[in-house]
Amino acid sequence: MLTKRIIPCLDIKDGRTVKGVNFVSLRDAGDPVELATKYAMTGADELVFLDISATEQGRKTMADLVLQVAAAVDIPFTVGGGISSVADVEILLKNGADKVSINSSAVRRPALIKELSEAFGAQCVVVAIDAKKIDDQWWVHLVGGKQATDLDLFDWAKQAAQLGAGEILFTSMDHDGTKSGFANEALAKMSESVNIPIIASGGAGSMEDFYNSFTFGKADAALAASIFHYGEIGIPALKTFLKDKNIPVRL
């Protein structure tokens, strides 16, 4: 049985780790290299590094900072933000990233998913989807949640998988930073509609929330930020809790 993964997320703005609520009200959470080192040493299965203002500011992900983080960790490391071409990914992989996460650029040009999958392998391509529930339907949002689209969450997830995505990173904008639990109903529906791993994101506030994401939400991995950054939950304790509840994790 495949183990469930615990993934801290480093949202980066101006070279610092930040965290907000519902994608706004950002506050400083520390030095990304220091945090990445701590997580790698305390049992994180992977890391996600998202340069959250790269797309909005029309620039590329900070490759130098990627190089520093990659040098500090020995676990798989996913990088996202401002990626729009094969050449962008080549630079990030050369600087130590193991996977890349694409979001707005994939929606604007879906062929990018296929291009990256063919160039680097599906296992390298994570399609991140930020969505908000409006009138009982989940709608995809772009540019760090600032731009609404008329794209249905589940339709887009299926299309991304068909085009060659290796994983989906689904963030519920409604749950982000609220510590009220993951969007398990939507996660379960997505898991049933695609045959690639789903990473749950948005809403982690307790150890029970992770358990629920793996059971009710059928997620393959769970990502969180503030509860790890501010020391509210330790990864070793979380994994022990999950193991005691018969969730397969790597200790």
Q: Which positions are catalytic? A: 11, 130
Extract the tokens encoding 158.
């299926």
The rounded distance, in Å, linking the Cα atoms of 99 and 210 is: 23
Helices (H), the chain: 32-41, 63-72, 86-94, 104-108, 111-120, 153-163, 184-193, 207-215, 226-229, 235-244
| Helix ranges, 103-216 (H) | 104-108, 111-120, 153-163, 184-193, 207-215
CA atoms of 15 and 165, how far apart (whole Å) = 28
